[in-house]
């Protein structure tokens, strides 16, 4: 019963956090409508961005994540209902000082990806994923789950403004 309450609490927290992000994004973005042509361009560009994330982290390992995270105080990441990175600085520090020492390889594959354009410069990414993590002893741990994020077009190209990972248990 405790596990059901915990799952329900995490689910409620995720839903509340998701709606807060949407409201904040809506307030910051105004009500500028996106045209059909802009929407198609955003879908194509953000899908290519998502594909580049999978290719990049698979090829370069965990350090590659840093080039996909928006290097601003606006960035944050949540995993299974817990704030893991409150900002880019925390992500940078953890990846460089800890993650690259314990995880030597990542094989990331997206499935059933959905891109919802919000503006010409922002979109929601939602995708199932499969990830094989290789640790520094060669052991492989497999994860399946769901990923959601806001992708934002920056002066460095598309980057993740925020991200949420949910692991299937």
Tens digit of each residue's pLDDT (9 = 90 or more) over 148-162: 999 999 999 999 999
Ranges in the chain, pLDDT < 70:
1-32
31 three-class SS: coil
Question: What pLDDT does 31 receive?
Answer: 59
Q: Are 49 and 122 in contact (CB under 8 A)?
A: no
**Domains observed in the chain:** 32-167 (3.10.450.50)
Question: What pLDDT does 33 receive?
Answer: 83
Question: What pLDDT does 12 receive?
Answer: 55
Question: What pLDDT does 169 receive?
Answer: 83
Q: Are 95 and 85 in contact (CB under 8 A)?
A: no
Residue bearing tokens 């509340």: 16
How far is residue 52's CA from residue 108's CA, in Å, rounded to a whole number? Answer: 11
Question: What pLDDT does 28 receive?
Answer: 52
Strands (E), the chain: 76-79, 82-85, 103-119, 122-135, 140-154, 157-167
Question: What pLDDT does 15 receive?
Answer: 55
């Amino acid at each position: 019963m405790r596990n059901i309450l915990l799952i329900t609490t995490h689910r409620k927290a995720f839903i509340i956090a998701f709606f807060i992000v949407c409201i904040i994004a809506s307030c910051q973005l105004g009500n500028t409508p996106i045209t059909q042509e802009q929407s198609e361009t955003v879908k194509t560009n953000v899908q290519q961005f998502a594909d580049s994330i999978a290719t990049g982290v698979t090829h370069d390992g965990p350090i590659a994540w840093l080039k996909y995270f928006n290097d601003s105080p606006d960035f944050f990441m949540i995993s299974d209902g817990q704030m893991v990175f409150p900002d880019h600085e925390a992500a940078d520090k953890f990846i460089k000082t800890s993650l690259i020492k314990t995880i030597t390889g990542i094989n990331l594959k997206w499935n059933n990806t959905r891109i919802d354009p919000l503006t010409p410069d922002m979109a929601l990414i939602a995708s199932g994923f499969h990830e094989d993590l290789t640790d520094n002893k060669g052991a492989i741990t497999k994860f399946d789950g769901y990923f959601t994020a806001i992708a934002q077009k920056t002066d460095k190209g598309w980057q993740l403004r925020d991200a949420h990972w949910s692991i299937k248990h």
